[in-house]
Amino acid sequence: MIMEHDNGIEYYPELPEGYSLLTNLKELFVLKDGETKITKETAEFRKGLLLLVYNPQTNEYYPRFTAYSTNKKKLLQYFNDKNLYIKDSDLIYKKKELLF
């Protein structure tokens, strides 16, 4: 799928291959060193992820990189609205669960 541009804004007209709906919010977090259980105190926000946000009004997917300054409330809203997509190769918890 080729990314398109409209007035300098990049988007995908269709969901690119290799992306899936984000169904587990903990995929946005990693454990701090030495921790084994994910909690508010032991988890850190994953930076550098390329997520896609679906806009139902335009039927387009907009790329968003996660960073320290990422608006986490907006991400939660996109997640709750089922409009947040993650690259399959970036899934970490789903992969672990499949191994067991």
In this model, does residue 40 exceed pLDDT 90? Answer: no
Question: How far apart, in whole angstroms, are the C-alpha atoms of residue 16 and residue 23?
Answer: 17
In this model, does residue 16 exceed pLDDT 80? Answer: yes
Question: How far apart, in whole angstroms, are the C-alpha atoms of residue 39 and residue 4?
Answer: 39
Domain boundaries, the chain: 4-99
The burial class, CB within 10 Å (0-12 / 13-18 / 19+), for 16 is middle
Closest CA to 28 of 81, 61, 58, 71: 71
Closest CA to 10 of 46, 58, 61, 45: 61
- Global pTM reads 0.83
83 token code pair: 């409009």
Q: What is the pLDDT of residues 58-95, one digit of tens each?
A: 999 999 999 988 898 999 999 999 999 999 999 987 65
